[in-house]
Structure formats: structure tokens, C-alpha cells
């Protein structure tokens, strides 16, 4: 029967691309690490070529500057660790909410209102109350204002099911607006800056960075235990995975949302307090340095795991510190180049998750 | 009619990732026959037919039509070969009329004319015995009418080969009869009809030949008249199995759950429960029959505390009669208060009077189990949350329809899923995973759950194993009331019978079991009584041992009343 097959009806060639994309079921851990390593190295190589090309320098120097910027001197190492620690704190403020699938994009605003509370206490009460009381007040008020800023969207989400993404995002702009308003009404001298103060500065241990690093490392370990081993953490996971299941077993979903966002806001408030009180208090609307947004990236990169956050926060701080050294060393005066190239590195790292979830299989040739 | 081979599958293979859906399948379809493609869920029968309909493209092998090799890349290619498929989930536009849906997407200009189309549809109806109003909008139609529109849609495009994926899953016995009559008329008109199914009795009734698939392999194609249900089952499952549900007689029934005049309205203002009243008794399986969406979900969720009610009562009778007081109450005050109300009696039946007795005497009487309850405790569960129900000590278990979306958390492992019901126990702020782990171990061993280990996320398990995990957890608390909604949907025969027998076991242990099912044969074989829901109303509560399928089908669909 097969002999009298007519040539007219010969099968058409496969249409489309010569490969298909298949979802990976299980991926061994070494493969995952390799993919990430390749992505990081690839991103760095790409960025070194671009930077060196624009500056007309040797691409190898790029790596020298990169590592010098991050590890060059003891102070540079401390600065990088400080950056990483603050970023850890900001990520800690987001992770419990993210685990609950509550997309809290308001970390920046929550930190900023906390900064404003702490700074204003130092500004108005600095000369009137003893230093220890001032610090205590700053600590309490920062945390409280962080909570207020996160609680508002949480209540709306819990009771009216409003979209938390937009809500928390908009809260950032309100916070910025309030800071600008305060500056305009408090600083009558015409200066566009809040003055740097001396009252309300945290004591140093070894240097003024070690306490901060220690606090946030401990906080991260606490968060790891809280999310993985506590009943609260278990409830957060259930609510995040399926609200229906949570209701079915009798979890009060509203309560979990509100409780978790209070925790989130409190941690953001703590970060805000430290931003102000670590050195002599100074404030601008840019004090949180967009960490509320960078933390979104570190959290996703760490797959919402507090332990992996150590890696992602360290990586981002390393790149940021290293790149500013590259900029200086190569004499690149244009800041945007550095932003673009840094973005490129992040892009490579984030895009590689495609190869972790999928693999590409090339079609075999027709006719065996 | 002379039989000629119309379609030939030659060594068709298809894989999805590591899953082999079809492995070198060879089979054929004759002109003018009804062919059943039989197999369990996941055996690859739908995948195979999807390749004929242009949804998937085979990884290997050839499809021949009229002896010529064809390439079917899209549903349009399939229509060019006069192949049409009616999917399990209808693909119709609700706000369009039947005619508008039928002509939708037809390229040929004259056939797009609605007037002509209506005439053609009328002719088709006459020819094959359809009943359809061409101007009726889809959203006003019953499931059976929608299916008719789907069939007409395919015929209108000139299909000679019709593939129907589980066409009877959503129909009542009467509607199935009508559908089968239509299919026979089409076969006699020379069309080839392929029915994908896992229901054996339907295979026997309608098809001329039957092809059995198992785990992606073609096992056999045989004439229906030469085979029987037992033989087909063995081919499907691959081993001899007994398809018996052990239905014991009901022992000592006592009212456990009294449902009184429940009313419920959904967000669209439609009444989902309309004066529903019934009693579920201990030691009995109460079946609930009805077309999908007749209020089954709302009813069970209302009892479980997940559904707001307009009115009505859910009365739970907590069994206490003739049980020792010490079993429930420990505090001295509770005991003396209840005694003063006359709620106790001694073992010999005389009433208890504790006045004048010393504390010590009373303590020893209670602790020795000499004081017993007169009657059951009665409580209303309406407007209680699931948590409040548990805190009242009511052991109510619920196997919901949506297993991974409601009963379990897909991304969590078996241990964490076991913990869902019990994680609150204890004062510690940390969860204790020891007991859930041993429970998970028991369930996996006891119900033969196939899993690499206890730390596998449940979404990676097969449907049957997911259901075993869920049912295992729900019966582990020795429930007094066990509700199960479509517990065997998507399960293979072996797992289904395991679940039936688990439910029977719960009934023998004295639980009041409420079973919502869709297969009437199973309802008749498993349950003691059957309640029929029809558009939120109870249209009958009947004895499952004496009622017929037709009678239930009638109650499921009758209107007005």
C-alpha cells in the first residue's frame, strides 16, 4: 500500500522555526548555577567591551577597576557591605508581602516617610531632649510611620480588593511630595537642602557601618525562620498560593494581609530610621536612593528566599560600587553610559531565567 | 454498506517534554462507522484526535486519508480534509445566535449569508433529527443545545469526519439518547464519527468498533459486538480488576445534619439554592445528582462555612447520646450546670441528681464514666466560618471539586498539605512538621500514592494521586460528616474504585457521607439515598436501591413544577 504513494501529496516541510521550546520539568542545581554564572560573566564581558570601546581603553582594565571599586581598600569593602546590608533591609520589607503575592511597590515611600519622621524629630527636638530619648523617639516614630504608609494600601486591599500594585506605587509619590512640601515650609532661608544635623546619631561600634550590617544580617536570618518555620509564615504561603485554599481551611485572609503588611512597613521604617540615624541626620527626597525599587529586583532574583538574598544583594552592590570606579578609571563623564551598562548586566542575569525554565530543542532532520 | 478505510494512522508519536502521549499508534477509521476511542485519562486518546484535528502536529508517523498522506497543521487544514472536532469545552460566542455562531469564520461569501445559513441549518435539522432554534442566543441555551450548535457548526463546514471529545460528560440520560439517535442518523448518511470516551456502557451502546488506548499505546481495535465490558476494562487498565462497590446496608442511622430551607443568591442575583431541605444521616451515603451548576457547589460550600446564605439553618447533631460526660467536659462547673439542666443519666437509665454530693464524689462519678448524656448536642452551623466550625469540635470534612485550587496547595509538598487542617494546634509560634510528616507517610503508604517522596509538590503528582492525598487528609480526622464533590473526576478506574470504597468505609464507620457525583450508574451503585438538585431546588430524594436512571434524569431536567 505504501508503494503507490503519489509524489503529489508529499508532506510539506515543517513550517516556522527549526527548533521548539520545551518546558523543563526538573533542573539539576549545578545546571542552574552554571546558567547563572554564564549569564553574569556574559553580562560583564558585554559591558566591558562597550565601556572600553567608548573610552578607547583596554577591556581588561575594566575588570581591574570593577574589582578595585568594590574591594580596593578596606573602606571600599565596608561601603559595599553597607550598601548590601541596606538593600537586604529593603528587600526584607518586600519579601513577606511578595510571598503573599501582594505586590508591594511602595518600599521607597515607606522608607521615605520613616526618614522624614526621624529627621523631623531631630530637627525640632534635637536641642530639647536628651540624645538617648531622641534616638528612641526617632526609632519608634520611623517604624510607626512606615507601618502607616503600608497599612493604608493593605486595608484597601483587604476590605475593597483594590489593586495593590498601583496603590503602593502611588503612595511613593505622595511621600516624595510631603518631603518636598516640608522642605519648602521649614527651610525659609531659601536653601534647597535640609541642613545636616548632629543630634540623633547612632553610636559607632568599630565604625559607623558595622552595626547596620549586623542588624540587617540578623534580620534576614530572622525572616528566614519566620517565613519557613512559623505558623504566620505558613499562613503567608497558603494565602499567596491560593486564597481559596486559605478560606477553605479557615485562614482569615484579611487578617493575614494586614498583619503581613504591618511587618513589611515596620521593616521599611527601620531601614528609614537607620538611613537617617547612622550618620548625622540629613534628608532629601532621594534619601532611600531608589532602594525600594532595587529591592524588587533583588527579591525576584533571590526567588523570595531570604538566604539567597545575601547573594543577590551582594551582587548588586558589587556591580554598583565597581561600575562607579570603572566610570572614573575610564574617564567616562556621561553618567547615563554607566546606567545603561549596569542595566545590561542585570538584564543578562534576569533573562537567563528563561533557560532555567525552558530548553531549546532543535528539530531532527526529516527522514530519520 | 461496503466498508472502506477512510483514515489511517501510521506510527503516530507525540511527546510533551518527558511525557510520551502517543507511542507509534497505528489504527484506522472506516467510512460510515461510529468508532469509540476508549482509554483512561492521560492515555493519549485526546492527543491523538487533536493531531487529526490540527491542534497538535505529530512528532513522528503519518496520517493517511483515502490512502494519501496528508499534513494537518491547523484546524483549517483539518476542515479542508473534511474533519471537524467538537471539543469538550465549547468554543461559542455567548452573545451571538446559533446561526451567527455557525457561519462565523466561513470564508465562502455565499455561505456567510445568514438567511441561506438558516435554511441550510433547517435542512440539516430535519435530516438528522436535531432540534434547535437558529435565532436563540448561546447564553440562553442548555448545555445540550450548545453541543448541538457545535455539531451543526462542524457539519456546515462540510465535515464528513466528526470527532466528539467526551460528548456525554455533561448530558442527562435523556439528552444522551437524543444525541445517540443523531449520531446514528449521521452514520447512516455515510459520515464517520469518532467518539472519545472512557465510559464503557456508552461504548457498548453506540459504537460499531472500539479502539482501546493505554499509556499512549494502541492496544486493540475490535468489533463492539464481539466484546464485553469486562474485556474492555482489562484492555484499558492492563490487568484484571473487579468493578464492585461493596454497599452495606445502613446500620443505626441517626440524623447527623439537618438542612432546613436554605436559600442563596449569587453575585448576579440568580438564586443558586432555592428552599433546600434534607437530612444527612450517620452510616449512610447521600448522593447528590444534578446537571453541573444546579447548586451542588453552593450547597456544600454553605455547609462548610464558605458560602453566605440568605436564609435557612444548618443543624448539626453532635453525637453524645449514651456517651460518658468525661469524654467531652472536664471542668467541674460545666458538668454541674449541665446536670442541673437534666442532661445526664446513669448507666442504668436513672436520671442524675448531683445536689448534695461533694465535689470529690462528683469527680469520681464523672471520671469513672458513670454519668452519660441523655441526648445529642444540637448546634446551628449557619454563618459560622470554617475555623469556628472546627473550634466547636465539629468534625466536618470536605473534599472540594477544585482539588489544587481549594483543597490543596499545588506548590507545597505532601507534608505541608497534610498540615493545612492541623497547623494551628499547640501554643508554639512555630509549626510542628513531625505529626504531619507521619500522617503523610501513613496516607502515602495506606492509599498507595505514587510519589518520589514526601517532599514533592503535589501539583507534580497525577490527578489520582492528588485526590488520594486530599481524601486521605480529609478522612484522617475521623469525620462525622464527610462531603465529597466529584471526587473521581479525572481519575483512572482503579483510583476511582479506591475512592468509592474509602467513602463506603467512612459510612460503615458511622460518618454521614454526602457524595456529589455525575455518573448516574455510580450514584445508583454507591449511595443509599439520592437527592436530585435542579436549578437550586430539590426535585426528589429517592431510595438509590429502587430508583432507575431514567427517573433521576427526569428529575434533573424537569422544569416548572
Q: How far is B68 from chain A (nearest CA, A)?
A: 7
pTM (predicted TM-score): 0.81
pLDDT bin (cut points 50, 70, 90) of residue B109 is low
In a domain, B403, yes or no: no
- Determine contact, residues A245/B405, Cβ cutoff 8 Å: yes
In a domain, A13, yes or no: no
Q: Tens digits of per-residue pLDDT, B380-422?
A: 998 899 989 988 888 999 999 999 989 999 999 999 999 999 9
Give the range with max mean pLDDT: B199-208, B283-292, B344-353: B283-292
Q: How far is B101 from chain A (nearest CA, A)?
A: 30
Q: Are residues B337 and B298 in the same domain?
A: no
Contacts of A9 in chain B (CB under 8 A): 68-70
C-alpha cell belonging to residue B357: 454530693
Q: Shortest CB distance from B400 goes to which of A23, A229, A248?
A: A248
- Determine contact, residues A363/A19, Cβ cutoff 8 Å: yes
- Label residue A2 exposed, middle or buried (CB < 10 Å: 0-12, 13-18, 19+): exposed
In a domain, B520, yes or no: yes
Distance CA B290, CA B536 (A): 9
Contacts of B390 in chain A (CB under 8 A): 250
Provide mean pLDDT across the span B286-306.
92
Least confident of A2-6, B358-362, B369-373, B530-534: A2-6
B298 closest CA partner among B318, B331, B280, B273: B273
| Residues of chain B numbered 378-417 and touching chain A (CB < 8 Å) | 385-390, 398, 400, 402, 404-412, 416
At B423, phi and psi to the nearest 5? Answer: -65, -20
pLDDT value for A367 = 40
In a domain, B86, yes or no: yes
Q: Are residues B57 and B183 in the same domain?
A: yes
In a domain, A45, yes or no: no
CATH number at residue B229: 3.40.50.300
Cβ contact, residue pair B409, A241, below 8 Å: yes
DSSP state of A11: P
Q: Tens digits of per-residue pLDDT, B186-222?
A: 999 999 999 998 888 888 999 999 999 988 899 999 9
pLDDT value for A91 = 97
In a domain, A94, yes or no: yes
| Residues of chain A numbered 220-259 and touching chain B (CB < 8 Å) | 229-234, 237-238, 241-242, 244-245, 247-252
DSSP per position, A352-368: THHHHHEEEEEPPPS--
Distance CA A260, CA B418 (A): 24
CA dihedral of residues B406, B410, B416, B418 (deg, nearest 10): 50
- Determine contact, residues A243/A256, Cβ cutoff 8 Å: no
Alpha-carbon dihedral sign for residues B388, B389, B393, B395: negative
Contacts of B304 in chain A (CB under 8 A): 248
In a domain, B144, yes or no: yes
In a domain, B242, yes or no: no
Q: Are residues B221 and B349 in the same domain?
A: no
| Residues of chain B numbered 297-326 and touching chain A (CB < 8 Å) | 304-306
Distance CA B431, CA B422 (A): 10
Provide mean pLDDT across the span B281-289.
95
Q: Shortest CB distance from B17 goes to which of A15, A23, A234?
A: A23
Q: Shortest CB distance from A9 goes to which of B70, B306, B386?
A: B70
Low-confidence residues of chain A, pLDDT below 50? 1-14, 366-368
pLDDT value for A310 = 95
- The residue behind cell 531631630 is A122
pLDDT value for A12 = 41
**Chain A contact probe: residue of B28, B61, B71, B402 with most A CBs at under 10 A:** B71
Contacts of A250 in chain B (CB under 8 A): 305, 385-390
Decide which of B239 and B445 is more confident: B445
In a domain, A58, yes or no: no
Residue positions counted in chain B: 561
In a domain, A106, yes or no: yes
3-state secondary structure of B404: helix
pLDDT value for B164 = 93
pLDDT value for A364 = 59
User: Rounded to a whole number, what is the largest CA-CA distance in chain A?
Assistant: 104
Angstrom CA distances, B64 to A15, A40, B67, B560, stand at: 20, 51, 5, 51
Contacts of B18 in chain A (CB under 8 A): 25
Q: Where are the alpha helices (DSSP H) in A191-230?
A: 210-229
Contacts of B386 in chain A (CB under 8 A): 247-250
Residue B545 contacts A, CB cutoff 8 Å = no
Domain stop point among B237, B263, B283: B237
- Label residue B490 exposed, middle or buried (CB < 10 Å: 0-12, 13-18, 19+): middle
3-state secondary structure of B318: strand
Domain stop point among B237, B270, B305: B237
Residue B80 contacts A, CB cutoff 8 Å = no
In a domain, A324, yes or no: no
Cβ contact, residue pair B68, A9, below 8 Å: yes
Distance CA B515, CA B424 (A): 28
Domain hosting residue B227, numbered range: 5-237
Q: Are residues B56 and B88 in the same domain?
A: yes
In chain B, count of helices (H) and strands (E)? 18, 22
Chain A residue closest in CA terms to B418: A249
Distance CA B59, CA B23 (A): 10
pLDDT at B177 over 80: yes
Domain hosting residue A233, numbered range: 76-318
Q: A318 in the Ramachandran plot: left (φ > 0), alpha (ψ -120 to 50) or beta?
A: alpha
**β-bridge mates for residue B196, sequence order:** B37, B165
- Label residue B345 exposed, middle or buried (CB < 10 Å: 0-12, 13-18, 19+): middle
Q: Are residues B534 and B455 in the same domain?
A: no
Q: Are residues B92 and B147 in the same domain?
A: yes
Least confident of A259-273, B38-52, B362-376, B516-530: B362-376
Q: Where are the alpha helices (DSSP H) in B238-373?
A: 296-304, 332-340, 359-367
Residue A13 contacts B, CB cutoff 8 Å = no
CATH number at residue A230: 1.10.3470
- The residue behind cell 547615563 is A336
A296 contact partners, CB below 8 Å, separation of at least 6:
A94, A105, A107
Instruction: Give how many domains chain B has, as a whole number.
Output: 4
ipTM comes to 0.84
At B317, phi and psi to the nearest 5? Answer: -100, 105
Q: Are residues B188 and B229 in the same domain?
A: yes
In a domain, B400, yes or no: no
Chain A residue closest in CA terms to B456: A26
Q: Tens digits of per-residue pLDDT, B451-506?
A: 888 998 998 887 888 999 999 999 998 999 999 999 988 787 888 888 999 999 99
Residue B24 contacts A, CB cutoff 8 Å = no
pLDDT at B1 over 80: no
In a domain, A111, yes or no: yes
Instruction: Give how many domains chain A has, as a whole number.
Output: 1
Q: Tens digits of per-residue pLDDT, A152-172?
A: 999 999 999 999 999 999 999
pLDDT bin (cut points 50, 70, 90) of residue B425 is confident
In a domain, B340, yes or no: yes
Q: Are residues B158 and B302 in the same domain?
A: no
- Determine contact, residues A145/A114, Cβ cutoff 8 Å: yes
Mean pLDDT, rounded, of chain B: 87
CA B387 to chain CA centroid, Å, is 26
Count of beta carbons in the 10 Å neighbourhood of residue B145: 18
Q: Are residues B440 and B494 in the same domain?
A: no
Domain stop point among B237, B267, B296: B237
pLDDT value for B36 = 93
Cβ contact, residue pair A231, B411, below 8 Å: no
In a domain, B413, yes or no: yes
Cβ contact, residue pair A247, B420, below 8 Å: no
Contacts of A10 in chain B (CB under 8 A): 69
pLDDT at B2 over 60: no
Q: Shortest CB distance from A6 goes to which of B62, B68, B429?
A: B68
A233 closest CA partner among A168, A293, A306: A306
In a domain, A279, yes or no: yes
Amino acid at each position: 500500500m505504501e508503494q503507490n504513494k503519489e509524489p503529489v501529496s508529499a508532506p510539506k516541510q515543517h513550517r516556522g522555526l527549526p527548533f521548539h521550546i520545551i518546558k523543563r520539568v526538573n533542573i539539576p542545581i549545578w545546571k542552574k548555577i552554571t546558567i547563572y554564572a554564564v549569564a553574569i560573566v556574559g553580562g560583564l564581558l558585554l559591558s566591558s567591551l562597550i565601556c572600553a570601546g567608548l573610552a578607547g581603553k583596554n577591556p581588561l582594565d575594566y575588570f581591574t577597576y570593577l574589582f578595585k571599586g568594590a574591594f580596593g581598600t578596606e573602606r571600599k569593602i565596608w561601603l559595599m557591605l553597607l550598601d548590601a546590608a541596606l538593600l537586604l533591609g529593603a528587600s526584607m520589607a518586600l519579601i513577606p508581602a511578595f510571598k503573599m503575592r501582594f505586590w508591594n511597590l511602595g518600599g521607597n515611600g515607606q522608607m521615605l516617610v520613616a526618614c522624614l519622621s526621624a529627621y523631623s524629630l531631630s530637627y525640632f527636638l534635637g536641642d530639647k531632649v536628651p540624645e538617648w530619648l531622641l534616638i528612641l523617639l526617632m526609632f519608634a516614630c520611623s517604624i510607626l510611620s512606615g507601618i502607616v504608609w503600608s497599612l493604608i494600601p493593605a486595608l484597601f486591599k483587604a476590605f475593597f480588593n483594590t489593586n495593590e500594585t498601583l496603590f503602593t506605587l502611588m503612595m511613593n509619590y505622595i511621600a516624595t511630595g510631603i518631603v518636598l512640601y516640608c522642605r519648602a515650609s521649614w527651610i525659609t532661608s531659601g536653601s534647597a537642602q535640609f541642613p545636616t544635623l548632629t543630634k540623633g546619631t547612632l553610636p559607632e561600634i568599630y565604625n559607623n557601618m558595622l552595626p547596620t550590617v549586623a542588624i540587617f544580617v540578623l534580620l534576614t536570618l530572622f525572616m528566614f525562620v519566620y517565613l519557613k518555620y512559623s505558623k504566620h509564615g505558613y499562613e503567608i504561603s497558603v494565602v499567596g498560593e491560593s486564597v481559596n485554599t486559605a478560606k477553605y481551611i479557615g485562614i482569615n485572609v484579611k487578617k493575614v494581609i494586614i498583619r503581613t503588611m504591618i511587618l513589611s512597613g515596620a521593616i521599611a521604617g527601620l531601614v528609614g530610621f537607620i538611613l537617617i540615624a547612622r550618620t548625622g541626620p540629613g534628608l532629601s527626597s532621594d534619601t532611600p536612593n531608589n532602594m525600594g525599587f532595587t529591592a524588587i529586583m533583588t527579591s525576584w532574583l533571590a526567588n523570595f528566599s531570604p538566604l539567597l538574598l545575601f547573594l543577590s544583594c551582594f551582587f548588586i552592590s558589587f556591580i554598583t560600587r565597581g561600575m562607579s570606579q570603572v566610570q572614573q578609571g575610564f574617564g567616562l563623564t556621561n553618567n547615563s553610559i554607566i546606567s545603561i551598562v549596569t542595566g545590561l548586566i542585570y538584564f543578562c542575569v534576569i533573562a537567563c531565567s528563561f533557560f532555567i525554565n525552558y530548553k531549546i530543542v532543535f528539530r531532527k532532520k526529516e527522514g530519520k | 454498506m461496503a466498508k472502506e478505510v477512510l483514515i489511517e494512522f501510521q506510527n503516530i508519536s507525540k511527546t510533551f517534554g518527558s511525557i510520551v502521549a502517543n507511542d507509534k499508534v497505528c489504527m484506522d477509521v472506516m467510512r460510515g462507522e461510529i468508532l469509540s476511542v476508549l482509554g483512561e485519562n492521560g492515555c493519549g486518546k485526546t492527543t491523538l484526535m487533536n493531531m487529526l484535528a490540527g491542534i497538535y502536529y505529530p512528532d513522528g508517523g503519518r496520517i493517511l486519508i483515502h490512502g494519501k498522506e496528508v499534513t494537518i497543521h491547523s484546524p483549517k487544514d483539518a476542515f479542508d480534509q473534511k474533519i471537524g472536532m467538537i471539543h469538550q469545552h465549547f468554543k461559542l460566542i455567548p452573545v451571538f445566535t446559533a446561526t451567527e455562531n455557525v457561519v462565523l469564520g466561513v470564508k465562502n461569501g455565499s455561505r456567510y449569508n445568514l438567511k441561506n445559513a438558516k435554511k441550510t441549518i433547517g435542512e440539516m435539522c430535519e435530516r438528522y433529527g436535531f432540534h434547535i432554534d437558529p435565532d436563540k442566543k448561546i447564553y440562553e441555551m442548555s448545555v445540550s443545545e450548545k453541543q448541538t450548535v457545535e455539531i451543526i457548526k462542524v457539519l456546515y463546514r462540510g465535515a464528513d469526519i466528526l470527532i466528539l471529545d467526551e460528548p456525554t460528560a455533561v448530558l442527562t440520560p435523556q439528552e444522551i439518547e437524543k444525541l445517540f439517535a443523531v449520531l446514528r442518523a449521521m452514520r447512516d448518511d455515510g459520515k464517520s464519527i469518532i467518539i472519545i470516551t472512557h465510559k464503557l456502557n456508552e461504548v457498548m451502546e453506540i459504537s460499531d468498533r472500539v479502539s482501546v488506548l493505554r499509556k499512549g499505546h494502541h492496544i486493540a481495535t475490535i468489533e463492539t459486538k464481539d466484546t464485553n465490558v469486562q474485556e474492555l476494562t482489562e484492555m484499558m487498565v492492563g490487568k484484571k480488576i473487579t468493578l464492585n462497590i461493596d454497599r452495606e446496608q445502613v446500620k443505626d442511622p441517626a440524623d447527623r445534619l439537618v438542612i432546613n430551607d436554605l436559600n442563596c443568591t449569587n453575585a448576579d442575583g440568580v438564586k443558586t439554592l432555592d428552599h433546600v431541605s434534607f437530612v444527612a444521616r450517620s452510616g449512610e451515603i447521600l448522593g447528590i445528582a444534578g446537571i453541573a451548576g444546579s447548586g451542588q457547589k453552593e450547597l456544600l460550600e454553605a455547609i462548610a462555612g464558605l458560602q453566605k446564605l440568605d436564609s435557612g439553618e444548618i443543624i448539626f447533631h453532635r453525637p453524645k447520646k449514651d456517651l460518658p460526660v468525661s469524654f467531652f467536659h472536664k471542668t467541674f462547673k460545666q458538668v454541674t450546670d449541665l446536670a442541673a439542666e437534666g442532661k445526664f443519666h446513669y448507666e442504668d437509665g436513672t436520671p442524675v441528681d448531683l445536689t448534695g454530693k461533694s465535689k470529690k464524689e462528683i469527680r469520681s462519678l464523672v471520671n469513672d464514666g458513670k454519668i452519660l448524656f441523655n441526648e445529642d448536642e444540637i448546634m446551628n452551623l449557619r454563618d459560622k466560618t470554617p475555623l469556628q466550625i472546627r473550634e466547636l469540635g465539629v468534625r466536618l470534612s470536605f473534599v472540594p471539586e477544585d482539588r489544587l485550587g481549594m483543597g490543596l496547595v499545588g506548590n507545597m509538598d505532601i507534608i505541608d498539605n497534610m498540615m493545612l487542617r492541623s497547623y494551628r494546634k499547640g501554643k508554639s509560634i512555630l509549626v510542628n512538621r513531625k505529626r504531619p510528616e507521619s500522617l503523610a507517610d501513613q496516607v502515602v503508604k495506606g492509599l498507595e500514592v505514587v510519589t518520589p517522596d514526601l517532599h514533592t509538590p503535589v501539583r507534580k503528582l497525577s490527578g489520582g494521586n492528588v485526590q488520594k492525598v486530599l481524601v486521605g487528609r480529609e478522612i484522617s480526622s475521623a469525620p462525622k460528616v464527610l462531603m465529597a464533590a466529584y471526587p473521581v473526576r479525572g481519575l483512572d478506574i482503579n483510583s476511582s474504585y479506591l475512592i468509592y470504597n474509602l467513602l463506603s468505609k467512612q459510612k460503615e464507620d458511622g460518618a454521614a457521607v454526602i457524595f456529589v457525583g455525575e455518573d448516574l450508574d455510580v450514584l445508583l451503585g454507591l449511595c443509599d439515598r439520592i437527592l436530585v438538585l435542579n436549578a437550586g431546588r430539590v426535585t426528589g430524594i429517592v431510595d438509590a436501591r429502587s430508583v432507575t436512571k431514567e427517573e433521576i434524569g427526569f428529575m434533573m431536567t424537569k422544569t416548572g413544577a
